[in-house]
Amino acid sequence: MEKLSIIKIGGNIIEDETSLNAFLKLFSNLEGNKILVHGGGKRATHVASKLGIESKMINGRRITDAETLEVITMVYGGLVNKNIVAKLQALQIDAIGLTGADINSIQSDKRPVKDIDFGFVGDVKKIASNSIDKLIKADFTPVFCAITHNGNGQLLNTNADTIASTIGVGMSKIYDTSIYYCFELNGVLQDFDDKNSVIKNINSNTYKELLENGIISDGMIPKLDNCFDALNNGVQKVHIGNTSMLTKENDNFTTITL
């Protein structure tokens, strides 16, 4: 099986032009088949507030009403995605920007209303692996933003981490697939106060221990659960760290396997 790397970047990289350019340079130098997945985060909040649309959050999660979905479609699907594509083209990467609606690549269901009505938020249902692979085989590099669709004409706001992991699972039928989650820290930390205390390898057994000892807690738990979900469904390896893990010089990041 050929290899495929899926790299997910978050708001911290996108919002800073210098960080974004440095990351895109690293991404362009990465060998082999690759897919980029990006969020958008604060940029959407900023444009929304300029348009007089209040960002509603419940338990730290954005409520996507119709107006907010418009802003997200403009910012993630237009402004952020198309600028990344243009910058990658300048780096000789033949990028193509996509939402889940394009080539029907990611279909999702609007999240059912239980205690909270999240609005136009999608839970991923189906990845069109073969269609995405047609782009890769044509030597194009897919760049996904965090928007999916329901197949009936409705766009839906979707978590970028989930998009990366579900694309990973979908593509793992065709490729030996690794996911790289880039974030602010160097990796999963043994001691939160020591930025260099990176746990280099985690597997399902050591993960249990880390949970029991309370070393992994809070926001890191859903992130790692999401990783093991991907691994249990075909993804080969998941890496967590800052963007310099994409260089050969740096081995100070976390690698997660089953």
Residues that bind a second copy (CB under 8 A): 47, 50-52, 70, 73-79, 81-83, 85-87, 89-90, 94-99, 101-104, 131, 134-135, 138, 140, 147, 149, 151-155
- Comparing CB distances to a second copy, the nearer of 134 and 208 is 134
- Comparing CB distances to a second copy, the nearer of 68 and 226 is 68
What 3-state DSSP class applies to 31?
A: coil
HSE-CB of 157 using CA atoms within 13 angstroms: 24
- Comparing CB distances to a second copy, the nearer of 113 and 138 is 138
CB of 120 to a second copy, least distance (A): 12
| Other beta carbons less than 10 A from residue 33's beta carbon | 21
Using an 8 Å Cβ cutoff, are 88 and 95 in contact?
yes
CB of 153 to a second copy, least distance (A): 4
Among 166, 181, 175, smallest CA distance to 233 is for 166
CB of 123 to a second copy, least distance (A): 17
- Comparing CB distances to a second copy, the nearer of 51 and 57 is 51
CA angle 99, 9, 139 (to 5 degrees): 55
CB of 50 to a second copy, least distance (A): 5
- Comparing CB distances to a second copy, the nearer of 159 and 226 is 159
Look-up of token digits 């926001």: 219
- Token pair in block for residue 17: 């032009």
Beta-bridge partner residues of 107: 126, 149
CB of 87 to a second copy, least distance (A): 5
- Token pair in block for residue 170: 């979908």
